């Protein structure tokens, strides 16, 4: 039984997961870590690099929780995918609790991006510099950043990240952009314009939070191709495939395995795809049941850390 990371290495890609909060202190931490280091060669801290954790006061950074993730990863020969430098969620109260001028907010953002990226310079290889900056209808998303700074916060963040670590891979990450649609068209044009202007952006992240019905695979394949043609590296950053709880589990697990298989098939076929990551790995610890009511069991290991049909489906392909 060859672990996924060994197969991934042969394919020259990375396979990984978002690590749960303080996983080292879970009641079953040992089991958690054993499976994580056996199967994966890339790790994303699931929450610890977000503003509310890493920048709790205007003049104080809190690197400790993220550090533990990074140390675990590096100790176990994994690379680290940083998440995330600019987002509209999980912002600290000091930031959202008052109105800032454009100049003030630009200064705050510059300090944040440069401080965080240089702190992890050389250890975090890939950064989700900007997360979810676009709405489903294909416009810039309303957020503190957009409202106060305007769309240029995106290029500024990329430029500052590049300054702080010229070797890091800088990506734009979002959900519901897997298929060709209004949102992915907007993202495509946005990144194309950034590249034409010479703004440093190396890759695109498809979150891939989907369900057992799957997606339009033909459209996904074409979408990957057009982003690859821009010269971008492609990352599947947060994959999970949820199923309804309370139905015939066996039926849905089969459907789920088929969805994982189809997505992996297309990804492994496109050389621009550099890494595939799941948002967690055991159904015991997943954001899905809390966020998508009535759904769960979205990951490749079950609650007891046993591999599921979807695990075997992707392993067979690799």
> Which residues are marked as active site?
132, 238
* Residue 178 lies near ligand XIL (rule: CB under 6 A): no
User: Which listed residue (24, 94, 217, 287) binds ligand XIL by CB under 6 A?
Assistant: 287
What lies within 8 Å, CB to CB, of 114 at 6+ separation is 160, 163, 164
Nearer to ligand XIL, 200 or 280 (CB): 280
Q: What is the DSSP secondary structure assignment for residue 39, as one 8-state letter?
A: H
Considering only CA atoms, which of 174, 158, 142 is closest in space to residue 238? 174
CB of 291 to ligand XIL, least distance (A): 7
Q: What is the DSSP secondary structure assignment for residue 140, as one 8-state letter?
A: B
Structural contact between residues 85 and 117, judged by C-beta atoms closer than 8 angstroms: yes
Structural contact between residues 187 and 223, judged by C-beta atoms closer than 8 angstroms: no
> In the complex, which residue's CB is closest to ligand XIL?
287
Nearer to ligand XIL, 82 or 200 (CB): 82
* Buried-exposed string 87-122: b where 16+ CB fall within 10 A, e elsewhere: bbeebbebbeeeebeeeebbebbbebbbebbebbee
* Residue 155 lies near ligand XIL (rule: CB under 6 A): no
Structural contact between residues 273 and 224, judged by C-beta atoms closer than 8 angstroms: yes
User: Which listed residue (143, 148, 207, 223) binds ligand XIL by CB under 6 A?
Assistant: 207
Cα torsion angle, 175, 179, 180, 182, sign: negative
What lies within 8 Å, CB to CB, of 192 at 6+ separation is 230
Number of residues that bind ligand XIL (CB under 6 A): 6
What string marks each residue from 63 to 102 as x (binds ligand XIL by CB under 6 A) or -?
A: ----------------------------------------
Nearer to ligand XIL, 165 or 174 (CB): 174
The structure tokens listed for 269 are 């076929």
Structural contact between residues 225 and 235, judged by C-beta atoms closer than 8 angstroms: no
Please, how many CA atoms are within 13 Å of residue 72, restricted to the half-sphere of its CB?
A: 28
CB of 65 to ligand XIL, least distance (A): 13
CB of 2 to ligand XIL, least distance (A): 29
Please, how many CA atoms are within 13 Å of residue 47, restricted to the half-sphere of its CB?
A: 13
* Residue 205 lies near ligand XIL (rule: CB under 6 A): no
Nearer to ligand XIL, 16 or 46 (CB): 46
User: Quick check: helix, strand or coil at residue 19?
Assistant: strand
* Residue 296 lies near ligand XIL (rule: CB under 6 A): no
CB of 238 to ligand XIL, least distance (A): 6
Beta strands 295-296; 233-244: pairing state:
antiparallel
Considering only CA atoms, which of 239, 252, 249 is closest in space to residue 300? 239
Nearer to ligand XIL, 128 or 155 (CB): 128
Nearer to ligand XIL, 16 or 261 (CB): 16
CB of 120 to ligand XIL, least distance (A): 17
Nearer to ligand XIL, 131 or 143 (CB): 131
* Residue 277 lies near ligand XIL (rule: CB under 6 A): no
Cα distances from 71 to residues 20, 36, 281, in angstroms, run 15, 14, 19
Q: Which of residues 215-254 bind ligand XIL (CB under 6 A)?
A: 238
What lies within 8 Å, CB to CB, of 39 at 6+ separation is 3, 4, 5, 15, 281
* Residue 47 lies near ligand XIL (rule: CB under 6 A): yes
User: Which listed residue (19, 32, 40, 46) binds ligand XIL by CB under 6 A?
Assistant: 46
What string marks each residue from 95 to 134 as x (binds ligand XIL by CB under 6 A) or -?
A: ------------------------------------x---
Residue ranges binding ligand XIL (CB under 6 A) = 46-47, 131, 207, 238, 287
């Amino acid at each position: 039984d060859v672990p996924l990371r060994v197969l991934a290495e042969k394919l020259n890609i990375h396979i990984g997961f978002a690590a749960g909060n303080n996983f080292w202190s879970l009641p079953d931490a040992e089991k958690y870590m054993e499976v994580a280091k056996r199967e994966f060669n890339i790790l994303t801290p699931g929450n610890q690099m977000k503003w509310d954790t890493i920048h709790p006061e205007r003049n104080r950074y809190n690197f400790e929780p993220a550090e533990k993730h990074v140390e675990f990863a590096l100790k176990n020969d994994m690379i680290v995918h940083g998440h995330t430098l600019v987002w509209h969620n999980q912002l600290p109260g000091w930031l959202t609790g008052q109105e800032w001028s454009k100049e003030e907010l630009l200064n705050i953002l510059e300090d944040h991006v440069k401080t965080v990226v240089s702190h992890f310079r050389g250890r975090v290889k890939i950064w989700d510099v900007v997360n979810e900056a676009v709405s489903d209808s294909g416009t810039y998303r309303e957020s503190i950043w957009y409202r106060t700074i305007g769309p240029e916060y995106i290029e500024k963040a990329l430029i500052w990240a590049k300054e702080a670590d010229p070797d890091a891979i800088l990506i734009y990450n979002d959900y519901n952009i897997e298929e060709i649609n209004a949102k992915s068209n907007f993202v495509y044009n946005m990144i194309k314009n950034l590249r034409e202007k010479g703004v440093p952006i190396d890759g695109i992240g498809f979150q891939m939070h989907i369900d057992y019905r799957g997606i339009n695979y033909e459209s996904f394949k074409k979408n990957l191709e057009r982003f690859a043609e821009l010269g971008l590296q492609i990352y599947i950053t947060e994959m999970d495939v949820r199923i309804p709880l309370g139905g015939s589990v066996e039926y849905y697990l089969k459907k789920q395995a088929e969805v994982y298989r189809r997505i992996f098939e297309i990804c492994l076929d496109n050389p621009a795809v550099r890494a595939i990551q799941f948002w967690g790995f055991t159904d015991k610890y997943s954001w899905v049941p809390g966020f998508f009511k009535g759904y769960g069991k979205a990951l490749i290991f079950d609650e007891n850390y046993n591999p599921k049909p979807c695990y075997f489906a992707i392993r067979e392909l690799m």
